[in-house]
Amino acid sequence: MTRGAAARGSATGAVGLVVAGLACQEVGASVAVLLFDRVGPLGMVMLRLLFSALVLMLIARPALRGHSRRDWAAVVQFGLVLAVMNGLFYLALERLLLGVTVTIEVLGPLALSIIAGRRASSWLWAGLALAGVVALAGGGWDRLDALGVVFALGAAAAWAYYILSSARVGAAFPKLDGLALAMTIGALVSLPFGIVQAQGALLRIDILALGAAVAILSSTLPYAFELVALRRLPASAFAILMSLAPAVAALAGFVLLGQHLAALEIVGIALVIAASIGAVRAAGRRARKGVEPVA
């Protein structure tokens, strides 16, 4: 196999991991919404991070020695970002529709793609993706809750920082070690807030089981997939791929919740997918020229 073919295969596999992670994430988000009236958004965050941390620690069994102070600082920052990002997302989701929440949140990766892009085409694909995001929102903007929008914008900023933090941790720790340690830190940070909000619901086996399912779908699988993908794709291309999230959320709502798509929303999905394809092709050209996949 030639170097170019190997690069294309690596990029294609990374794209598949990102898409699979997004699908799991939106299905998990749909289940999480159903639990808000029992455990609250912060209780859901705690369950999601706690079960994700337990699964990842059992799988990865990360070594605690042999890492520099800088590596540990990166892991702590990553853990804090995980807690903040998930907390703001669920607080927004409590007040906004899933598709609208994800649409606003994806503005963070889109902004990162413009900043990180070093080619004129980065502006083209980011602009096309942004147009798709706006179209995908359809007629939902008139129902926006102001505080919900603030939470969603905060989640957007945290998501952009998550991309950068994940790349640093993935480069410093082997396999899933860094993710497992960061998830544990995030779980510990969310623990007191979740206990206060969920209270007695945490003693119910069915709630815990659903919380574990959300954790696996929304955190464990997506973050693991993305951590591997970030080793094969540049941060700018990965950020634009994240613009698929509103499209996946809309499809999940259609399939799982019976939410039908308007014509304008379908146009938005097409624009976002077109932008993602363009970003992937650009990433493949950079890989064939020997550009490092992760800064």
Residue 293 lies in a domain: no
Residue 167 lies in a domain: yes
Cβ neighbors of 136 (< 8 A, separation 6 or more) are 99, 103, 246, 247, 250, 264, 265, 268, 269, 272
pLDDT tens, residue by residue, 98-149 = 877 888 888 787 777 666 656 667 778 778 888 877 776 665 555 568 899 8
Domain count along the chain: 1
Instruction: Evaluate whether 213 touches 28 at the Cβ level (below 8 Å).
Output: yes
CA distance 246 to 254: 12
Residue 140 lies in a domain: yes
Residue 74 lies in a domain: yes
Residue 226 lies in a domain: yes
What DSSP assignment string belongs to 169-231?
A: HHHHSSTTHHHHHHHHHHHHHHHHHHHHHHGGGGG-HHHHHHHHHHHIIIIIHHHHHHHHHTT
pLDDT tens, residue by residue, 56-100 = 899 888 888 877 888 899 999 999 999 999 999 999 988 887 877
Q: Which domain holds residue 68?
A: 3-288
pLDDT tens, residue by residue, 244-255 = 788 888 788 778
Residue 40 lies in a domain: yes
Residue 294 lies in a domain: no
